[in-house]
Amino acid sequence: MASIPQKALFGWDQIEALGDLKRLQLVLESLPDEVLMRTLEQERHRGRNEYPIRPMWNALVSGVVFQHPTVEALLRELRRNAQLRQVCGFELVKGLKAVPNSWAFSRFLARVMAHGDLMQTMFDTLVERLAELLPGYGVRLAVDGKALPSYARGKAEVAAGKDRADRRRDTDGEWGIHEYRGTHEDGTPWQKVKKWFGYTLHLVVDSRYELPVGFSLTRANGSEVVEAHGLMERLEERHPQLVERCQEVAADRAYDDTKLIRKLWDEWKALPIIDIRNCWQDGETTNVVLGLENVIYDYRGTVSCVCPNSGTQPQMAYGGFERDRMTVKYRCPARHYGSSCASLKCCPVGTAVRIALDEDRRVFTPLPRSSLKWQRCYAKRTSVERVNSRLDTSFGFEQHTIRGLTKMHTRCCLALAVMLAMAVGRIKAQQAEAMRRLVKAAA
């Protein structure tokens, strides 16, 4: 918390009586912002101190906690709410004069934006604290990207003679396109195209607690796979203990990449629960396993055997992953399930077959996509979507006035830090069941 060097005018029991302000108090006490505060104070040094750094910072955090969409809305609330000014640390004797004007607050926000590295360190420190407080935090991770539209005129939307840069434009944003394809139950194909101008927030989330572990921000046209590699490398550098405890990483087919799958399993020893794209060409539906003429597989890695007599293709039973051999074992379906097979005695498959992962690292993974366990693990990927939903509804990203890559990164980092700080504060206050609540106060 950005502690205020002044005499407290009321105690914690009185703060509890202030209603929603206790949520702000939980966040302020849990934010590791002392290094940032000292850095900003050293930069100001002997400059004008009409609006002190720490109350300004606490007010900025309160804007996130209380969902103020703009700086003007926050300043109006500070002028109206004397209790909020007191919790933030503004001098009560000054009354409304203690509240900064919009110009001064914008200048302060620009100074905060210049220290994105310290904001990132604050986020990483909160991740480390949660790793100590929450058992199993980081064991199961999920990765996904979130579209952050910029509700502003882009650099291509400048009228003739009006090409002067102003704050109503967003010259950093780019256009992003996501295409989704599938097949209806009746076999007809469908396609959905999502297009937006702005940025993409890439998140790594703990799927059990639905709390962020890592993040990065790029322009909307940035590659999700490329950014996923960067996220994994930063996790290795900043949180090696989380990498050691990680057991699985889930992601949708946008992250289908051989190098990423190899990295997760070969280096992290974590199961890559990543959906796969159909990259087979020329209408190819199955392929033969190397060295086994009557064992075939499709692009998802579903293995079947071909009966020499009838030509049927029953799906083989998954027999487990053999770590020492780096092979996936599949059993004869007739012997495993006790079903009838005319070629049981003469089938070259025998009791079981072993398929090496090196047959195709994209297709064959330690946990096959055809198994029920893979489906259960993949379903946990929706935890990222719930974090995205909270960012939209509770943290104000559904409708915003943020312009520019640096400002958007600062705003995302602050929102995610507040999310983690609220979780830390709830846990320490014996309110772990409400660790994800920002709007609703715990009982």
Tell me how long the chain is.
443
Dist CA 376 CA 62 (whole Å):
39
Confidence of residue 165 (pLDDT cuts 50, 70, 90): low
Dist CA 396 CA 28 (whole Å):
19
- Is the pLDDT higher at 11 or at 43? 43
Q: What is the pLDDT of residues 255-304, one digit of tens each?
A: 999 999 999 999 999 999 999 998 887 778 888 887 777 899 999 999 99
pLDDT on residue 157: 54
135 pLDDT more than 80: yes
- Is the pLDDT higher at 420 or at 45? 420
Q: In the block, which residue shows the tokens 């990498």?
A: 243
Confidence of residue 4 (pLDDT cuts 50, 70, 90): low
The interaxial angle of helices 21-30 and 405-428, nearest 10 deg, is 100
Closest CA to 145 of 216, 245, 91, 85: 216
Report phi then psi at 7, rounded to 5.
Answer: -70, 130
pLDDT on residue 440: 62
Q: For a pLDDT cut of 90, what percent of the chain falls above it?
A: 63
- CATH number for the segment(s) 136-155+169-275+379-409: 3.30.420
Closest CA to 305 of 271, 265, 339: 339
pLDDT (mean) for 355-372: 93
Angle among Cα 240, 241, 243 to the nearest 5 degrees reads 65
Confidence of residue 7 (pLDDT cuts 50, 70, 90): very low
Amino acid identity, position 287: N
pLDDT on residue 6: 46
pTM value? 0.88
201 pLDDT more than 70: yes
pLDDT (mean) for 422-442: 83
Q: Token pair of 33, please?
A: 């912002």
Dist CA 329 CA 327 (whole Å):
6
pLDDT on residue 13: 42
Dist CA 65 CA 392 (whole Å):
13
pLDDT on residue 166: 59
pLDDT on residue 250: 97
pLDDT on residue 380: 93
pLDDT (mean) for 358-363: 93
Dist CA 362 CA 275 (whole Å):
10
163 pLDDT more than 60: no
Dist CA 384 CA 398 (whole Å):
16
Residue 263 DSSP one-character state: I
Strands (E), 262-418: 271-274, 287-288, 295-297, 303-305, 317-322, 327-331, 352-356
96 pLDDT more than 80: yes
Q: Token pair of 119, please?
A: 């904001």
Dist CA 33 CA 121 (whole Å):
9
Three-class DSSP category at 200? strand
pLDDT on residue 399: 85
pLDDT on residue 160: 43
User: What H or E segment, with its residue span, contains residue 177?
Assistant: strand 174-183
Closest CA to 23 of 327, 359, 418, 353: 418
Q: For a pLDDT cut of 70, what percent of the chain falls above it?
A: 91
pLDDT (mean) for 97-115: 93
Confidence of residue 237 (pLDDT cuts 50, 70, 90): very high
Dist CA 403 CA 170 (whole Å):
5
pLDDT (mean) for 185-210: 90
Q: Which residues contact 71 (CB under 8 A, 6 or more apart)?
A: 63, 102, 105, 106, 109
Range in 209-213, 214-218, 295-299 the model is least confident about: 295-299
Task: Return the biggest CA–CA distance within the chain.
Answer: 95
Residues 130 and 210 sit within 8 Å (Cβ to Cβ):
no
Confidence of residue 164 (pLDDT cuts 50, 70, 90): low
Domain residue spans of the chain: 12-114, 136-155+169-275+379-409, 287-362
Dist CA 387 CA 189 (whole Å):
30
